[in-house]
């Protein structure tokens, strides 16, 4: 077994680096670390991720499904403010739920980035919860 020590980064595929950099920095408020000709490196409060130009089609979920998504934690106050902010910016929340059971519990809202990658903001109340707890 390999004993990893955590994440270094994860990658989100995008078609237009300029458009995606703007969305992830101006809408989601992440810090840009650096950029090259096919990647933008961002930091989300201690977790790094990379927007990488993809030549392949990007549509991991059909219609408004959300099985494949990236979730970002927000505070209770920020959750309510963020929903209003997204609406003001024309970003449609296509699903909202308040989970009281499961692995990650709390209020969550799902929306698309400019390339239809699904993003979730969650006011995490409890989790991760192990099976049987």
- Do 46 and 110 fall within a single domain? no
Q: Return the closest-CA partner of residue 71 out of 117, 34, 15.
A: 117
Q: How far apart are CA 91 and CA 89, in angstroms?
A: 6
My answer on whether 16 and 70 are in the same domain is no
pLDDT (tens place) for every residue of the chain, 133 residues total = 888 788 888 999 999 999 999 999 999 999 999 999 999 999 998 999 999 999 988 888 888 899 999 999 999 999 999 999 999 999 999 999 999 999 999 999 999 999 999 999 999 999 999 988 7
Give the DSSP H/E element, type plus range, for residue 106: strand 105-112
Domain hosting residue 80, numbered range: 64-133
Question: What's the rounded Cα separation, in Å, for the pair 65 and 70?
Answer: 13
CATH number of the structural domain spanning residue 21? 3.10.180.10
Residue 130's H or E segment, with its range, is none
Q: Report yes or no: 55 and 64 within 8 Å, Cβ to Cβ.
A: no
Same domain, 77 and 106: yes
Q: How many domains does the chain have?
A: 2
């Amino acid at each position: 077994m390999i004993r990893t020590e955590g994440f270094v980064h994860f990658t989100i595929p995008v078609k237009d680096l300029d458009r995606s950099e703007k969305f992830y920095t101006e809408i989601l408020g992440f810090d840009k670390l650096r950029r090259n000709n096919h990647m933008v490196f961002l930091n989300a409060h201690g977790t790094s991720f990379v927007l990488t130009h993809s030549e392949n089609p990007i549509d991991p979920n059909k219609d408004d499904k959300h099985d494949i998504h990236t979730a970002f934690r927000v505070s209770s106050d920020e959750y309510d403010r963020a929903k209003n902010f997204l609406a003001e910016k024309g970003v449609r929340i296509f699903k909202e739920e308040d989970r009281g059971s499961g692995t990650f519990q709390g209020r969550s809202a799902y929306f698309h980035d400019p390339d239809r990658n699904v993003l979730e903001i969650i006011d995490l109340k409890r989790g991760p919860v192990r099976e049987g707890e």
